[in-house]
Amino acid sequence: GKTEPLKALPAMFDAKGLCVEQYFCTSKDGTKIPYFIMRREDMAFDGNNPTLVDAYGGFEISMLPGYAGGVGVAWLEKGGVKVIANIRGGGEYGPEWHKSALKANRYKCYEDMEAVAQDLIDRNITNSAKLACIGGSNGGLMVGNLITRPISSKLFTTAVCQVPLLDMKVYSKLLAGASWMAEYGNPDEPDEWKFLRRHSPYHLLHMTTSVYQRRRETRTDVKSKIRIGNAPKFFSRHRHAMIECIPVTHVKWSER
């Protein structure tokens, strides 16, 4: 039989002329990585579109395109491109997709993001000067790694690092942190700290000072299960690591 709408909320933004597409790129180890693009149908493939890449890559959590008023009004209506990257560590392809980026293999999440960024540039959707990444919580850890890795720090000019984990030496002692050791590893075990240190943004800062000359980060500190000191500690060290830089923008929201 026929169906008819009963009630609907008013539109939050004008979605006419917008489209969603799925693409695949190849990560460093040959794995095909899917990602979605939300854009205007009349977007010019001239490599000059402001593009925001969102991802999570952890805890078997899947990310899909969705209807979001803030994104529509502030970004898509104004010609921006929003990308959802389905990197490993998530649940998009089931438990094995998640397990493939656990502990010592965590770096594969970040290689996947580098592959997505490069593919967006190769498809003439954007360029590094107009390419940004965003992530919160575990996604904030991802962003922290992207701005300290030599390749991704040159691909992304802007980073939005929200409620992040950034010091992987002490994360297990912060609130619910001990429950995440199956995902990341135990920093008190010497063999596990060896690989944890390689994706602990706080500990990578002093080795990657030269990549910060074009950085500008915005971050927010509000999440009950992640100690809010993680981000200020990181960005304090970030400032001291730089000689000449664009100032860091610190946005702190209160739950009160």
- Series of mean pLDDT values for 10-residue runs along the chain (256 residues): 91 95 98 98 97 98 95 96 98 98 98 98 97 94 93 93 90 92 98 96 67 43 51 59 42 41
Angle at 135 between CA 130 and CA 137, to 5 degrees: 160
Scored b (16 or more CB within 10 A) or e, 48-75 reads: ebbbbbbbbbbeeeebebeeeeebbeeb
Distance CA 150, CA 227 (A): 28
Give the Å distances, CA to CA, from 111 to 115, 138, 202, 206. 6, 16, 19, 21
202, two tokens? 């706080």
pLDDT at 253: 41
pLDDT at 164: 87
pLDDT at 162: 87
11-15: Cβ within 8 A, 24+ apart: 12/67, 12/69, 12/72, 12/73, 13/69, 13/72, 13/73, 13/76, 13/77, 14/72, 14/77, 15/67, 15/72
DSSP strands (E only) in 51-188: 51-54, 81-85, 131-136, 158-162
Rounding to the nearest 10 degrees, give the CA dihedral for residues 99, 100, 105, 108: -130
pLDDT at 240: 53
Distance CA 143, CA 130 (A): 16
256, two tokens? 């009160």
Q: What is the pTM of this model?
A: 0.85
